[in-house]
Amino acid sequence: MSITFLYKNLIETATKITENSSRPHYGTAFIFDNDLNSVYRGTAGNGTSTILFDFGSAVYMDSVACISNLTTSGTMVLRAGTLSSVGDQVFGIPVDGFGTSHKFFGDQGYRYWRLDAFGQTAIFKHQINEAFLGKRLTITEMPSYPLENSIEEDTTELISERGQKWIFFNYERENFTFNFEGISNSIENGLYKMYKYCRKNTQPFFMNLNLDDNTNNIRYVRFSDKGFLSDEITKNIFDITIELIEEKWYN
């Protein structure tokens, strides 16, 4: 059992991003802007939308994740290569039908990486809310059980003159609290680096709660305000509390 975090998004370092198709006001800048409400939209119908990332030189990655509108009948593929034809590596990305997709693989280094989306969608256009390319941080020490989580909802209820009722979701979020007891200095250092890189609660990231039991259980989260507490109980041994908030989206 383990928890996996995807937080250092190398898409931000790409020297050039080229798409084969995009809609006005829905360009590729929106796939890594940390905002689930802004989106990239590509090819209409059953065609393939491709996004090519040129990093200028080889970059090493072992993970991809994204939030899209593809259903289980759709296909998502990550390709990589030394040339822009990206013919050296191909990784199929499972699509769970709930919007989240990810693939973990061995460390690979290439200059060019390309994300392909294929298949029909409800709006007849491929849409990507957020995407991640980079390296994962895996924590093999599990937090204390039971895991603490809670769900917050805010809704608006409207009732017509005939008594018909509508309920609209303003927002929904799930809160997680992880308590790690007696963990090593190396694990504490890795978690603190993630907290610092994410500028505390500023930058969201992807999290997989338990890859062994549920490969599709991937969340888009951010730290809560003051969401990282570390206490050195003995030399190089720490108790840590992490508080996370899941970002929600509605395609």
DSSP annotation of 215: T
pLDDT tens digits for range 5-55: 999 999 999 999 999 987 777 889 999 999 988 999 987 666 889 999 999
Predicted structure pTM score: 0.86
What's the CATH class of domain 3-139? mainly beta
Domain with CATH 2.60.120.260 in the chain: 3-139
pLDDT tens digits for range 86-110: 999 999 998 876 688 899 999 999 9
- At residue 16, what are phi and psi to the nearest 5 degrees? -155, 140
Q: Which of 25, 3, 32 is nearest to 240 (CA)?
A: 3
